[in-house]
Amino acid sequence: MINWIKWLVVGAVLLLSIAAAAVYTTLYLSLPKLDGNSATYHVTQPTQLSRDSLGHAVVNAENLFDAAYALGFAHGQDRFFQMDLQRRAASGNLSAWVGSAALDTDKNARFHQFEQRAQTVFENLPSKQQELLIRYAHGVNEAIDEYTTLPFEYIAAGMEITQWRPTDSILVIYSMYLDLQDGQVKLDLARTALKDTFGDDIYRFVTQQSHFQAALDGSELPLSDAPIPEYPSQFKAADESKNESENADTQAYNNRSINGVLLNDLARYTDPRYNRARYSRARYTYRGIELPDIGSNNYAVSGNITPTGAGLLANDMHLSLRVPVIWYRTQLNYSDAGQDVSITGVSLPGLPGIVVGTNGNIAWGFTNANLDNVDWVALNSDTETTKVTETIPLPSGAHEYTMEVSEFGPVKTLNGKRYALNWVAHHKFAANLAITDFGGAKSVDEAIDIGKRIANPTQNLVMVDSEGNTAWMPGGAVLHREKASYTAISEQDMRNNPPRPATMLPLVKNPVSNRLWTANARVISAKDVSRLGDGGYALGARGRQIRDRLFEKDTFTETDFYAIQLDNHAQFLIPWHNLLSGLLTMQNVEFKPDLTYLNTWGACACDDSVGYTLVKHFRREVVQTLFGEILSSLDEQGVQSRTLLRGIEPATWQLIQSQPSSWLPEGTDTFDELLVDAYRRAKHKLLDKYSPLEANMDMLNWGSVNALTVKHPFSAQIPLIGDKLNMAPVPGFGDTYMPAVQSTGFGASERFFVSPGHLDNAILTLPGGQSGHPLSEFFTSGFDDYATQAATPLLPGDIIYSRTFYKKEEE
């Protein structure tokens, strides 16, 4: 019997070993070929694609078209899965891979009809840009034609690879529109629903301006002096009914005894059973949290305050972090109009060219500008529309999706009324490849001219040059309008202002302060707001903190700029900390341990700070308590209310400071009671999640609660070895409302510091490796520097691999 068991175990181990060897062999065979020579019809002169020890792709070509081919080849070797996800996300074809779980995502993309729009954009591009996309696509396709076996993602999903089309690169641009501006689409609809449901007073109260904005010219928008409106009356009856039930539950609990003794005042503070009953009392359960501040930080100083006399630029674009990382280290070397060009920075797999980088004469970076580029058009009752049916493929079968389309755009129905979407992304001027022209720019002035031609999601474009000049401008497609709108407009308003690109955009060059900063908040002058609008600006606390850091020193280096990017000082939450500490001090018996954590919080989003976690979640719970019922009612109408949370801070503090009784839930006597109850709920929700058995508050340190986990999209679906596809977890460092932005799967997608003409000191640190292949030596390369906040050099190192492409002679 023992021998049989022994042989069964041996046999099982042998079978597992064979299976593992087969998986490894399959993966190994799909590794790309990095050395050697190739013949192709798609280059005009010998073109070299090399890589250093980080996998940094270095292209040497005679012209930009040959360089585009080689870059497409590199992207196809290292990142085709990522590129495929991008085009599928924009075209609404994710469900074919992951099934019905992605249907809502696909329907949202199909609503915008990006597949058809990509063809229109391509046909309207200049011939040079069309040729760039064609050459790039040839490079991608010749790379995937070399696959000996399919990449593991395709084997796991049972999917075949389809060739890359030139229009797929336009879809990649549209995927960035969805990342960067889809929040605007949802915000304007949420604003419309808020105003229509609760009236002008509540609308103005919830969406009022804050004092945090730090415009480049120092201009300010007037703050609200309107009285706080009464809490919406339509909720009062529901509150009273709900409160009667909750009071009965609480009274029944209070009448229970512990070992025969009724709960007294001291016991109700120390017995966790009471606290669990108490913290469940809230006006309305609402779990919405602020959207992440997508779009990032960039800042610059002129040569007047650098040791070298050249301008200095920092850029860290905040995006969702995943495996593989979104950006790709690239250097393109080619000739243009008789001049040698060398551009180093990051490219976006799916597109030819460098997105953020430097050519040694200039450097440029982007953050999401949040100018208003969206209008919802309230359709008349008799306006004719048409029905369009789209077929969304599934792993087995298909789903029919029917949408409504008007002359003004696709239609959504809200509370029985139809609204058509006019979004800049829907127009043929929404996308182009003008960004590739930065390679030849010699100065900030030349870069400004290029910036005026760029078409992509509107960005804060910040530029510096080797002569010490600096400039900021909106770079990208901007809708023209005489007056921006934040809620739905009429058909007549739309006809009076037909869609066209905006001209006469603002520009700031060489400010007297020698400093520029942007952080997704308002940087335009107050006088430009009526025309360019507010498409969902960040609250502004992060931008103001960066501005203040820039005025703390008289001279800056790359290292100084890196320190600003890593600034996790909790300036924004200090008033919340003071409020919470004061409240808990008045009830010291119950909260004595909590006060210890608050007193040692460090005023930072540091990994060992429990106090920071408590303050952050206290604020969240207060906001959800005060506004949850209002916002939830909007969600029930089919809009995304959480887009409104980005600007909720002024209204929240008005309520805390004025304490109007109508905003108290039934059964709550004072605002102090409301706030303390909110803290109890926040704390116990945290304990339920992070220490459900021991209720150990040490487990609530910010490093654990906000640990960064950069994951592969398929890791959870692959048993036993799926975790091997993820980057190692990093203790939480940073948060929203501060320069060091980070959440569990979101943060700085690159850290870039450069002074043109002094590239040996330049830094480019990425949160992942170059290759998406798990067996590649470049799979995790560079991630350790990101995790430890080290400085990875921008320039490539010694070359270790090289492919050369020769022109194939016509047969």
- Residues comprising the binding site for Ca(2+)? 372, 374-375
Write down the residue that tokens 């059973």 correspond to: 273
Fill in the amino acid letter for 546.
I
Which has the closest alpha carbon to 376: 645, 638, 102? 638
CA distances from residue 748 to 259, 486, 561, 604 in whole angstroms, order as listed:
55, 29, 14, 18
What distance in Å separates the CA atoms of residue 439 and residue 354, rounded to the nearest whole number?
9
**Residue 697: helix, strand or coil by DSSP?**
helix
Which has the closest alpha carbon to 641: 630, 631, 650, 626? 631
What distance in Å separates the CA atoms of residue 757 and residue 25, rounded to the nearest whole number?
46
CA distances from residue 277 to 124, 280, 679 in whole angstroms, order as listed:
63, 6, 14
CA distances from residue 1 to 8, 91, 203, 355, 672 in whole angstroms, order as listed:
11, 60, 78, 67, 72
Pairing of β 57-60 and β 47-52 = antiparallel
Which has the closest alpha carbon to 31: 170, 152, 169? 152
Q: Which residue positions form the known binding site?
A: 372, 374-375
Pull the structure tokens for residue 310.
Answer: 């050249």
What distance in Å separates the CA atoms of residue 73 and residue 66, rounded to the nearest whole number?
11
Which has the closest alpha carbon to 160: 249, 96, 255, 70? 96
Backbone angles phi, psi at 504, to 5 degrees: 55, 50
Judge whether 23 and 778 are in contact, CB under 8 Å.
no
In eight-state DSSP terms, residue 587 is T
CA distances from residue 660 to 486, 618, 625, 651, 789 in whole angstroms, order as listed:
28, 20, 14, 12, 46
Choice among 91, 296, 633, 704 that is catalytic: 296
Judge whether 631 and 209 are in contact, CB under 8 Å.
no
What distance in Å separates the CA atoms of residue 646 and residue 637, rounded to the nearest whole number?
20
Which has the closest alpha carbon to 282: 690, 593, 588, 620? 620
Pairing of β 374-378 and β 417-423 = antiparallel
Query: Is 342 noted as a catalytic residue in this protein?
Result: no
Q: Which residues form the catalytic set? A: 296
